[in-house]
Chain A
Amino acid sequence: AIQMTQSPSSLSASVGDRVTITCRASQGIRNDLGWYQQKPGKAPKLLIYAASSLQSGVPSRFSGSGSGTDFTLTISSLQPEDFATYYCLQDYNYSYTFGQGTKLEIK
């Protein structure tokens, strides 16, 4: 099974900061990766699919990059509503694995 290693597990940042979260796959997964945001008590929300495509309705301050084994989610200028937990999810060949999550907290 494909393993996803996400880092960091937690991150403190301020409004307006640029932040980066990474995921590494245990084997090549082309660009079969997405990023989700989850707020407490809510279902996850898709932000990025196919590694770098912005889901409809998601603000452009969110961006994704990478292919193969290394992937990055960047938030260019943090807004108060962005403080949440973020997960990567790989969907290579109808197998799916989440990263461990990154909790983004207010500094």
Chain B
Amino acid sequence: EVQLVQSGAEVKKPGESLKISCKGSGYSFTSYWIGWVRQMPGKGLEWMGIIYPGDSDTRYSPSFQGQVTISADKSISTAYLQWSSLKASDTAMYYCARHMTTVTTLPDYWGQGTLVTVSS
């Protein structure tokens, strides 16, 4: 069974750093792109970027380029999303998702989400 399990909720202060994780299982982790999606409170879905764990090829949405870093450790089947200096506007739910590879590259399996709250 394909599963993506994300790390738990975080409460941080502005200016702090943060790294959240997404662990894949039940499939070949290095053969599928993993993407990250932001959902701010009461708002829609925003695609942030993707990484191919096999070779760490990474692509960002222009809106998130330079704001976050996506990485992966294929030895432990885990992808990461990190911030070096959080802002209150980073408060959101963050989802990871596995992207399909045949016919389409849309995400099919999703993690349960990680709620990040940034408040002084």
Chain A nearest CB, measured from B24 CB (Å): 14
* Partner pick for A96 among B35, B44, B95, CB 8 A cutoff: B35
| Given A38-B45, A89-B47, A96 and B61 contact (CB-CB distance below 8 Å) | yes
> Digit string of B86-106 for contact with A (CB within 8 Å is 1, else 0)?
000000000101011001111
Which of B61, B95, B105 has the most CB atoms of chain A within a 10 A radius of its CB? B105
What is the chain B residue whose CB lies nearest that of A48? B106
* A1 cross-chain contacts in B, Cβ below 8 A: 61-62
**Would A34 and B106 count as touching, CB distance under 8 A?**
yes
**Would B47 and A100 count as touching, CB distance under 8 A?**
no
Which of B13-21, B66-74, B75-83, B107-115 is found at the contact surface with chain A?
B107-115
**Would B47 and A98 count as touching, CB distance under 8 A?**
yes
A45 to B119, CA, bound (A): 30
Give the size category of A's interface with B. Answer: 20 to 34
**Would A43 and B104 count as touching, CB distance under 8 A?**
no
B interface secondary structure, majority: strand
Q: Can you name 21 A-B residue pairings with CB atoms under 8 Å?
A: A32-B104, A32-B105, A34-B104, A34-B106, A38-B45, A43-B113, A44-B37, A44-B45, A44-B110, A45-B110, A46-B108, A49-B100, A49-B103, A49-B106, A50-B103, A53-B104, A87-B45, A91-B104, A94-B50, A94-B59, A96-B35
B-side interface residues toward A, CB under 8 Å? 35, 37, 44-47, 50, 59, 61-62, 95, 97, 99-100, 103-108, 110-113
A-side interface residues toward B, CB under 8 Å? 1, 32, 34, 36, 38, 43-46, 49-50, 53, 55, 87, 89, 91, 94-101
